Amino acid sequence: MSMEEQHNAVPATLQEGIALFKKSDWKDALDVFLHVQPDNDEEKREFTYYTGLCYAKLKCYAEAVPYLERFITESRESTRVYQCRMTLAYVYIMIKNAKMAEYELTMLLNNGFESAQLYATMAYAAWSQSAFPRAIEWYEKALSVDADNLTALNGLGFILADSGKDARRGIRFCKKAVEKAPDNPVYLDSLGWAYFMDGRISDAKKYLYKALTKAPDSPEIKTHIAIVENKKA
């Protein structure tokens, strides 16, 4: 028997998959889980939980949904249910189903969960539906829980500027995010765009081009730069 045949003959176990998952080896972990035959309800829950998270980590969002939904329905472990609802909300946002994302997040709120991450995700779901006032409220709520939450600082700053509501206030939030994470291309892009919306073209170009050096393949950054470069004096 060849070495490959010997390897394939070894029964896949949940423990092997979980060990790979904890090493962030999502692809190999998923391969193990898909060859697992759970023997009891506890193993089935473990299988469902980790398989759903693996698919989400690998950005196979459509495949992640049924596993995450099933775990939420069948499990009573509050911490893991919280994690799966948060992950499922993110997945729904990625597949352009913001209403279902809001449903999952609202269920968490109704069950007494509160975190800056949750509120920031609610804000993003609202923003993706162009519900800008509601998004601003949720980002402000996130910052009331954690004044240094980078996602909320960047998100609130971007919306304030992009919506034309208050670009200068938006710059302040975006600058705070950049000060705390100076190499993050998303935050640099938001700050550059906020400067542009405030009419400060030179500052806008400075941060947008810096963002591009960090994320040269980003279509959003390239779009922002094209708009700024085509701005008539």
Q: Which tokens in the block code for residue 158?
A: 């971007």
**Angle in degrees, CA 98, 101, 103, rounded to 5:** 115
Which amino acid belongs to residue 172?
R
Given a contact cutoff of 8 angstroms between Cβ atoms, the answer to whether 205 and 192 are in contact is yes
Judged on CB neighbours under 10 Å (0-12, 13-18, 19+), 116 is buried
Quick check: is 129 in a domain?
Answer: no
Asked if the structure places residue 172 within a domain, the reply is yes
88 shares a domain with 5: yes
127 found inside a domain: no
pLDDT in the model for residue 111: 87
In single-letter form, the type of residue at position 93 comes to I
Residue 101 shares a structural domain with residue 7: yes
For the chain (length 233 residues), average pLDDT per consecutive 10? 39 82 95 89 92 97 96 90 93 92 91 90 91 95 97 97 95 98 98 97 97 97 96 61
Contacts of 51 (CB under 8 A, 6+ apart): 30, 33, 34, 67
CA dist., res. 105 & res. 114, Å (int): 10
Can you give the CATH number for the domain in which 79 is found? Answer: 1.25.40.10
pLDDT for the residue 193: 98
- Give the pLDDT confidence score for residue 232 in this predicted structure: 57
Q: In the listed set 60, 78, 113, which residue is the last one of a domain according to the structure?
A: 113
Alpha-carbon distance of 89 to 118, in angstroms, equals: 10
Whether residue 102 sits in one domain with residue 178: no
Number of compact structural domains in the chain: 2
- 100 with 180, same domain: the answer is no
Please report whether residue 24 resides in a domain.
yes
Determine, yes or no, domain membership for 41.
yes
Please name which of 47, 42, 67, 46 lies closest in space to residue 56, comparing C-alpha atoms: 67
Question: Are 205 and 142 within one domain?
Answer: yes
Dihedrals φ, ψ of 53, to 5°?
-70, -35
**For residues 71 and 54, what is the distance between their CA atoms, to the nearest angstrom?**
13
* Same domain as 98, residue 48: yes
Separation between Cα atoms, residue 19 and residue 32, nearest integer Å? 10
Asked whether residue 130 is assigned to any structural domain, the reply reads no
Pick from 113, 147, 178: which residue ends a domain? 113
31 falls within a domain: yes
Q: Does 132 map to a domain?
A: no
pLDDT for 207: 98
Model pTM score: 0.77
Domain residues for the domain of 32 are 1-113
Give the model's pLDDT for residue 36. 87
